[in-house]
Amino acid sequence: MSLEVISRMSQPLVDAHVDDPDLALLRAAGLGDQSAALQLVRTHAPALQRLAWRMLGDEQEAQDVVQESCLRLWRVAGEWRPGEARISTWLHTVAMNLSRDRLRRRRETYPVESFEWLAGEDSPEQDMERDRRSARVQQALTQLPERQREALILSHFEGYSQSEAASVMGVSVEALESLLSRARRSLRQRWLIGENES
C-alpha cells in the first residue's frame, strides 16, 4: 500500500503548520534508529491496545493489531509527509481499520469494557449493583451499530475530541455528532427498557 493511499485513510487533523510531537522520532526510526522506534511504540502502544481491545474484546488479537499498526508505520516512515495527519491519529486510524477487518471476518461482535468510573471500594451489595449495571452497559454497547459504537469508544473511552474522533473514523464532525447522538439515544432507550424489566 502506497503512502498516498494510506495517507488518504485519515483526513488531516491539524494544520500543516502545527508540529507533530512524534515527527522527529519517526524520521529517526525511518533512518534505522531502533531507540526512536522503541520510543514511538512505548508512547502509542498502550492507547492502541486499549482501542483494539475495546473493539475486539480479545487481548491477543488486540496485541496483533498493535504490532501490525506499528509495522505499517515503519513501512511508510521514510516517506512520511508532515502536516497531512498527526502520527498518533494515523496509528489510531490504522488500528481501527484493522480491528474492523477482524470483526468482519468473525461476523460477530464482542463486548466493550465497562465504564471504569463505576469501579471503587464499595460494600458487597454496591459491588453487585455496579457489576449488574456494568453488564447491562456492555450488553447495550454490543447491540449498537458498529459506527455508533466506534464513535463512543473514541469519544468516551479514548478521550478524543470530536474533530480527532471524526478524523480517525474518516467522517465529518457533523457525521460524528450524529453518530454520537444516535448512540446515546439508543443506549438511554436500552437502559430504560432494562430498568423496567428489572
| pLDDT number for residue 79 | 85
Q: What string of pLDDT tens digits covers the 198 residues of the chain?
A: 443 434 444 333 333 435 788 998 998 888 888 899 899 999 999 999 999 988 887 889 999 999 999 999 988 888 888 877 889 989 999 999 999 888 888 754 444 444 444 445 556 777 677 777 767 766 777 788 889 888 988 888 788 888 888 988 989 999 999 999 998 888 888 776 666 565
Asked whether this chain's domains 1-109 and 111-198 adopt the same fold, the reply is: no
pTM above 0.75, yes or no: no
CATH of domain 111-198: 1.10.10.10
CA distance 130 to 126: 6
Give residue limits of the domains in the chain: 1-109, 111-198
Cβ neighbour number for residue 13 with a 10 Å cutoff = 22
| C-alpha 20, offset from chain centre | 19
Q: Which CATH fold topology does 1-109 show?
A: Rna Polymerase Sigma Factor; Chain: A (1.10.1740)
Q: Is residue 11 a contact partner of residue 171, using CB atoms and an 8 Å limit?
A: no
| pLDDT number for residue 107 | 56
